[in-house]
Structure 1
């Protein structure tokens, strides 16, 4: 009886998660299947899940034959921005977290408190002054406009620092006895130990940069420099009467993050655990 009583909550939780998974996956499957449909079949067949005839022309037209909406160029722009920003974030965040978490200098805690206070302001407040800065530097329609502003995300510094302060300080002291300086300790001692949280930061940063819509829409007005997310808005305007083409563009846009999730599921779960269970 006791085992049966314990089984009931687990069964309810399983059924609930199963229903939620089905609700989530059906639109995705519908989009994938629709992207392989003929536009004429969509208009004449009405509601039909599987295509009458599977075609790949929607993808070839978008990727190869369309200069008005260069989806492949947008894809490469997003890849350059997301990868570059991820690398830059890992360098800056890890070094900043090391300074705030391991080094001792005057005003450290005050500076860190002030840094955390900036998280209280919504990002939209910074849009106008940030654009003025980007325009002054001449970075409009430049990759740097999308890469640099997000290079020092405060939450990522906080996340890495909190992970770092739990590493015993005796590791640093032992390295100093052997003659290691601060930078050597960072590279040889601390950096190998914080690889899990850096992987989480990399996932956060890449997906955030890839899915960002508002800021790239502001700093890019050259169609050939746009990332894929704001580019899909232009695609919608051109193919609003052709849902199969729209679905093909959307599926291309989600491929990198989908592949990233397949190969890094463990780190996505760690990111949720770290985000919800950070020690102050």
Structure 2
């Protein structure tokens, strides 16, 4: 089953090095007869793939950092700080999970339009500042932090900000890595929301650029495969490097919940 799942990715990488028209032969060749980098040179020289790659990296990185800041503080507050209406508010947030994200896109787009954020990177990043899933994930993990540890720090005179930065964040390290990887992958692969918000081609991300490329070069299979490789490889490498921490954070979070 693993081979079946990886076969399309392997052929995608192989086809990206084939000569023009070679991938359309019947039966399709598994390996290029004469490997070439011409399609990658075309992507970065004429299709502007380098600009789109930087756009995707900037948006995904900003979304990840800002989302971590908001979700970590909110999740910790719901887990350990006592305030009026905490449980009711958290249940209301969980109820929002059943609402499809597409339903909120129109009012969200109108809000961003009134704020002047359409066709800006900030307009793409804004919806990722805080997510119900991220808050829930951090809350479930933070509930396992001993209350005695926090109370001891308060008795010693530490403020809430210092407790959060020096005590809580180091204990949340596994879930921080998990949430960072999840948020980065989501922002990198997002297609629908950037397509709605970004109207200028110079702001396009890789998924939008790849879709635009498919309309212009529908018959150029090898060029499309090269574009797909450029889109997939960065996040694939990131996930492979951090997969152990990512899975560890998910498992620990589920056990602590």
TM-score in terms of structure 1 length: 0.88
Please report how far the alpha carbon of residue 197 of structure 1 lies from its aligned counterpart in structure 2 after TM superposition: 0.4
Q: Could you say what secondary structure the match of 2:3 adopts?
A: helix
Summarize the alignment of residues 124-163 of structure 1 with structure 2, pairs less than 5 Å apart: 124-163=102-141
Summarize the alignment of residues 17-166 of structure 1 with structure 2, pairs less than 5 Å apart: 20-43=1-24, 46-64=27-45, 66=46, 69-166=47-144
Q: Aligned pair in 2 of structure 1 residues 113, 45: CA closer, same or farther (>3 Å)?
A: closer
- CA deviations 1:66-108 (Å, max 9, x no partner) are 1xx3211111100000000000011001111121111111121
Higher Rg: 1
Question: In the alignment, is residue 197 of structure 1 matched against residue 178 of structure 2?
Answer: no
Counterpart CA distance in 1 for 2:240 and 2:86 is: 40
Q: Could you say what secondary structure the match of 1:47 adopts?
A: coil
Q: Which of these residues, 214, 232, 253, is aligned with residue 192 of structure 2?
A: 214
Q: Which runs of 5+ in 2 are unaligned?
A: none
Contact 1:82/1:209 (CA < 8 Å) preserved in 2?
Answer: yes
1:186 aligned partner: 164
Counterpart CA distance in 2 for 1:230 and 1:267 is: 30
Please report how far the alpha carbon of residue 47 of structure 1 lies from its aligned counterpart in structure 2 after TM superposition: 2.2
- CA deviations 1:167-212 (Å, max 9, x no partner) are 1000111101110111111111111100100110001100000000
Counterpart CA distance in 1 for 2:252 and 2:131 is: 16
Q: Aligned pair in 2 of structure 1 residues 123, 106: CA closer, same or farther (>3 Å)?
A: same
Contact 1:58/1:244 (CA < 8 Å) preserved in 2?
Answer: yes
1:10 aligned partner: none
Q: Could you say what secondary structure the match of 1:148 adopts?
A: helix
Please report how far the alpha carbon of residue 272 of structure 1 lies from its aligned counterpart in structure 2 after TM superposition: 4.6
Q: Aligned pair in 2 of structure 1 residues 230, 276: CA closer, same or farther (>3 Å)?
A: farther
Q: Aligned pair in 2 of structure 1 residues 257, 237: CA closer, same or farther (>3 Å)?
A: same
Please report how far the alpha carbon of residue 255 of structure 1 lies from its aligned counterpart in structure 2 after TM superposition: 1.5
Q: Which of these residues, 159, 179, 201, is aligned with residue 223 of structure 1?
A: 201
Please report how far the alpha carbon of residue 249 of structure 1 lies from its aligned counterpart in structure 2 after TM superposition: 0.2
Contact 1:63/1:70 (CA < 8 Å) preserved in 2?
Answer: yes
Q: CA RMSD in A?
A: 1.5
Counterpart CA distance in 1 for 2:144 and 2:247 is: 20
Q: Which runs of 5+ in 1 are unaligned?
A: 1-19
1:11 aligned partner: none
Contact 1:70/1:224 (CA < 8 Å) preserved in 2?
Answer: no
- Which protein, 1 or 2, shows the higher relative CO under an 8 Å CA cutoff with sep ≥ 6? 2
Q: Which of these residues, 225, 232, 249, is aligned with residue 210 of structure 2?
A: 232
Equivalent residues, number: 257
